[in-house]
């Protein structure tokens, strides 16, 4: 379980296909300083298991299914990725409950500066708009954000400069893929009220 509060932006050092899985190597200093073998780390919003680490690096095994269904398929050496260690019971709960189970990829429609703030509009694949609620929660590449607008299958969020400084959103442009995780509570409510 995560909160969607990104701790660090790491960089992909390697992402290669091995016998049983893809091996993802990320250079990171903050997150790697306090992990153990088998720990869960959110990488662009996707919960991955640490398979190896040292003081400035993390390694993960990534299944083909995960690579195919997330923006991992577009990762290259040097790509920035958002990192967050799993939440501890004794920590403050900023953001919202993020499982690290990416629902699908969305596409950036508009990303621009408006005044002192930044406006990001994303298109979600059809059929998922039911999870989008004005002032509700959404995780974009693992970042907990507040939905500011909903129009059909598109939604918008506003970003403060700090969010751009500490995440990979600073490099996004129209057409780029982003990992989306919709609010867990909305999905449970839907399931429990289904007829």
Q: Report whether pLDDT(195) > 80.
A: no
Question: pLDDT tens digit string along 118-136?
Answer: 999 999 988 888 899 999 9
CA 167-172-176 angle, 5° bins: 125
Report pLDDT for 67: 94
Whole-angstrom distance, CA of residue 155 vs CA of residue 87: 27
Q: Which domains does the chain have, with CATH numbers?
A: 8-85 (2.40.30.20), 104-193 (2.40.30.20)
Question: pLDDT tens digit string along 170-182?
Answer: 999 999 999 999 9
With contact defined as beta carbons under 8 Å apart, do 96 and 143 qualify? no
By residue count, the chain amounts to 195
Question: pLDDT tens digit string along 8-48?
Answer: 999 999 999 998 899 999 999 999 999 999 999 999 999 99
Report pLDDT for 179: 98
Dihedral sign computed on CA atoms, order 142, 106, 178, 148: negative
Q: Report whether pLDDT(187) > 90.
A: no
């Amino acid at each position: 379980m995560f909160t969607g509060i990104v701790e660090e932006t790491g960089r992909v050092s390697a992402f290669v296909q091995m016998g049983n899985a893809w091996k993802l190597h990320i250079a990171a200093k903050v997150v790697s300083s306090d992990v153990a073998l088998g720990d869960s780390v959110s990488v662009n919003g996707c919960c991955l298991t640490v398979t190896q680490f040292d003081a400035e690096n993390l390694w993960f095994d990534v299944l083909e299914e995960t690579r195919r269904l997330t923006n991992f398929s577009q990762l290259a050496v040097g790509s920035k990725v958002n990192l967050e260690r799993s939440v501890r019971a004794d920590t403050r709960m900023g953001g919202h409950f993020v499982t690290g189970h990416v629902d699908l990829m969305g596409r950036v429609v508009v990303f621009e500066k408006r005044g002192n703030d930044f406006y990001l509009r994303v298109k979600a694949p059809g059929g998922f708009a039911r999870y989008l609620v004005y002032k509700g929660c959404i995780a974009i590449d693992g970042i907990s954000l507040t939905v500011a607008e909903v129009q059909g299958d598109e939604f918008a969020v506003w970003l403060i400069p700090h969010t751009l400084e500490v995440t990979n959103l600073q490099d996004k442009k129209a057409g780029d893929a982003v990992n989306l995780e919709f609010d867990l509570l909305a999905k449970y409510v839907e399931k429990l009220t289904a007829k």
